Structure 1
Amino acid sequence: MSNNSRKSYAREVCRVNPSCPKKSKPSPSLIISFLDEDYSPNIIRGHQDALVITAKIGTNTVKKILVDNGSSVDILYHHALARMDTGERKLENTHSPLYGFTGNKVKVVGTIDLPVLFGTMPYQVWKIVKFHVISVNSSNNAILGRTTISALEAITSISHLKMKFPTEFEVGEMCGDQAVSR
């Protein structure tokens, strides 16, 4: 069957069956901005706090996720992974260490690809994130670095403690928790 025949058949099926999924037209570029209305009433303005969010990783609600524009990788701390249900997903071995901004070497236990849900209905997006699992003490459970921020096409605002990103329906957002980041 030729490509044109397949398309013609699909059009005919969709004409007869109105519930047939239609190809979505690409949406025009969304404008992402931060206004005074984006400040949460709970935020103490003029702060220097980090953007720390809560997100769903797989079936787990994970708190204390640091959004770090300065990190080149996504990190999941081993203590957090140990408490998570990862289903069939397993830790993959890796032999490459990570280097901190001070040049110190950190051994990577392994990597794991996990789905992460950003936003709330209907302004949400699932992304598969490759986490580098490390076994060090941290008050955070994970760090989302530039790879995920870029894949999400997200824009962060530290003063608003908020991250915004395009979704299928409009702009989605994740709000930071100032009390947790302190």
Structure 2
Amino acid sequence: MPNPGGYALVLNPTIVAPRRTCKFSRVLIDDGSSINILYRNTITKLGLEAKDLEPTQTIFHGIVPSISCSPTGRVQLDVLFGNSDHFRREPLWFEVVDLSNAYHALLGRPALAKFMAVPHYTYLKMKLSGPKGLITITGDYRKSLECARHGTKLAESLVIAEERRKLNRIVALASEMPAVPIPAEEPTDEASFKPSKETKKVKLNLDAPSCSKYVVVGTRLDSK
């Protein structure tokens, strides 16, 4: 495998819902996440509806840069790792988000703790104990690359859409603000300095008759 450690761990567990049971091929194992997430398309595939969700107050970041997200609800579903001969099944709580994503679901630290699973990012494997011994699930770096490319394009489109919404709000607010009148400039003849007509010239140096320098002062000034 080229570039060991440079790929996300993408596995294919089975998720059991009340109406449908589906095996998903693009489930991200993320030990940096404190929650498990189900996305919009996954909810549709599992046949879940809004009435099947419980209220949640979780708010999280990181799916799309600089954008926070509030789930529409949460739901508890069984997740199964392994095959028909040897598997392990555990109930997990998922936060449901109304977003499209390159992955069907995200399993974070709560899922790893529930399964007592150990992910290995060098070989893209995850190991957990089962009723008959050790269960090893193996990922594929080609699938990881495909999901990463798709996720990058989707994140860019979401960021662009969010920036467009912010710009539209700014334009709308600017159009609602009343126009501020610009004060008229004062005429030049009124604003310019005008010397008084009652003036006289006073020499700067009275002791030097030949001095030609003088100042102009008002005639009504005190002699001091």
TM-score calculated relative to the size of structure 1: 0.69
Gap regions ≥5 residues in structure 2: 146-224
Q: 1:135: how far off?
A: 1.6
Q: Quick one: distance in 2 between partners of 1:163 and 1:170?
A: 14
Q: 1:177: how far off?
A: 2.2
Counterparts of 1:29-178 in structure 2, within 5 Å, are 43-44=1-2, 46=4, 48-58=6-16, 59-86=21-48, 90-100=52-62, 104-178=67-141
Amino acid at match of 1:177: D
Identity within the alignment, % = 27
CA contact (8 A) 2:34 2:110 kept: yes
CA contact (8 A) 2:119 2:126 kept: yes
Q: 1:119: how far off?
A: 1.4
Q: 1:44: how far off?
A: 3.8
Q: 1:120: how far off?
A: 1.9
Q: Quick one: distance in 2 between partners of 1:46 and 1:70?
A: 19
Amino acid at match of 1:83: K
The structure whose RCO (Cα within 8 Å, separation 6+) is larger is 1
Matched residue SS, 2:54 = coil
Structure number with larger C-alpha Rg = 2
Q: 1:160: how far off?
A: 0.9
* Aligned residue-pair number: 139
What is the Cα-based RMSD across aligned positions, in Å? Answer: 2.2
CA contact (8 A) 1:51 1:158 kept: yes
In structure 1, the partner of 2:205 is: none
Bigger helix fraction: 2
Matched residue SS, 2:72 = strand
Q: 1:91: how far off?
A: 1.4
Amino acid at match of 2:61: Y
Matched residue SS, 2:122 = coil
Q: 1:114: how far off?
A: 0.8
Amino acid at match of 1:73: I
Matched residue SS, 1:108 = coil
Gap regions ≥5 residues in structure 1: 1-42
Q: 1:86: how far off?
A: 4.9
Q: 1:103: how far off?
A: 6.8
